[in-house]
Amino acid sequence: MRTVRTVADLRSALAPARAEGRRIGLVPTMGALHDGHLSLVRAARAACDVVVVSVFVNPTQFDDRADLTAYPRDEARDAALAAGAGADLLFAPSVEEMYPHGFATTVQVRGVSEPLEGEQRGVGHFDGVATVVTKLLLAASPDVAWFGQKDAQQVAVVRRLVADLGLPVTIEAAPTVREADGLAMSSRNVRIAPEDRRRALALKAGLDVAVEAASGGDLRAAEQLGQQWMRVMRVDPEYLALVDPDTFAPAHDPRRPSVAVVAARVGDVRLIDNLPVPALALETR
């Protein structure tokens, strides 16, 4: 596997494959790779001829400077894991490469970016995500890009971005990978204090309760039950909501599929998770 650090070198490295009509896959990451990331790399490897993994801790999507500073970074480890999972190229640009002096452009996706994570982290969070994803897609010009379903709202923002701008790339979302105890894999999990680890399972437990309760047809009551269950486990949710998977507006029709999403702080670590909510087959009379 080869590591490149500039957009020019990335495009040069991909030029032969592109000229031959080979299929290029991109897996954008912020590093600190875990099995969730590696599942994306393996999916890209199975579907593409050339696989690019980007590692860039994007400062513009952090609303909390302390969170940015604490974000784990170990490029050598990431490179070894990416290569082992089948990556051909590691794109590891500097902040100056991605945001050169005088950079003055922001990509904003309205609507889907505004509720939930947008409310909790501020409008700048998804502006930062949309801007850096646009830059990565333009730099690599992949045929397919893979994202993790754990960041469900981010996936919806990226899909809207690609559709609105007419970017010639397919967006694939791979299922959430979980640790043995059910906690969704995240680079932030290593920062959970040992005494808080059991409480962190409240996110998945709350989702399970909400999804099960949604089978009764009352989606708002399902949300409330999930929230109550989390509080029993001594975790106060920032939100636990059942939403439309495309717009992230509140879901209202139990006959349509939705997604249960949750966010909460456990100790000093902010975690998110989600589960699909199947459509309810209601009898019509």
What CATH number corresponds to the domain at position 236? 3.30.1300.10
Name the domain boundary from 151, 174, 197: 174
- What is the arithmetic mean of pLDDT over 202-220? 98
Q: Is 200 found in the same domain as 169? A: no
107 is in an annotated binding site: no
pLDDT at 283 over 70: no
Annotated catalytic residue, options 37, 101, 125, 252: 37
Q: Is 153 found in the same domain as 24? A: yes
Report the C-alpha gap between 194 and 285 in whole angstroms.
Answer: 53
Domain residues for 255?
Answer: 187-275
149 is in an annotated binding site: yes
Asked whether residue 21 is domain-assigned, the answer is: yes
2 is in an annotated binding site: no
Name the domain boundary from 145, 174, 203: 174
Report the C-alpha gap between 227 and 224 in whole angstroms.
Answer: 5
pLDDT of the residue at 285: 39
Q: Is 264 found in the same domain as 144? A: no
Q: Is 148 found in the same domain as 116? A: yes
Report the C-alpha gap between 271 and 155 in whole angstroms.
Answer: 17
125 is in an annotated binding site: no
CB-based burial label for 49 (10 Å; 0-12, 13-18, 19+): middle
Asked whether residue 280 is domain-assigned, the answer is: no
- Dig out the tokens for 238 from the structure: 């920032």
Q: Is 98 found in the same domain as 67? A: yes
Q: Is 203 found in the same domain as 167? A: no
Contact between 223 and 206 (Cβ < 8 Å): no
What would the pLDDT profile of 154-182 be if each residue is shown by its tens digit? 999 999 999 999 999 999 999 999 999 99
280 is in an annotated binding site: no
What would the pLDDT profile of 104-115 be if each residue is shown by its tens digit? 999 999 999 999
Structural domains in the chain (count):
2
Catalytic site residue 37? yes
1 is in an annotated binding site: no
Name the domain boundary from 140, 174, 208: 174
Residue with tokens 């909400």: 210
Q: Is 85 found in the same domain as 210? A: no
Contact between 267 and 193 (Cβ < 8 Å): yes
Report the C-alpha gap between 179 and 183 in whole angstroms.
Answer: 5
Q: Is 16 found in the same domain as 157? A: yes
pLDDT at 73 over 90: yes
- What is the arithmetic mean of pLDDT over 235-262? 98
Looking up residue 84, the CATH number of its domain turns out to be 3.40.50.620
Q: Is 231 found in the same domain as 170? A: no
Q: Is 269 found in the same domain as 156? A: no
129 is in an annotated binding site: no
pLDDT at 260 over 70: yes
Q: What angle do CA 244, 160, 169 make, to 5 degrees?
A: 130
Q: Is 249 found in the same domain as 119? A: no
9 is in an annotated binding site: no
- What is the arithmetic mean of pLDDT over 222-248? 98
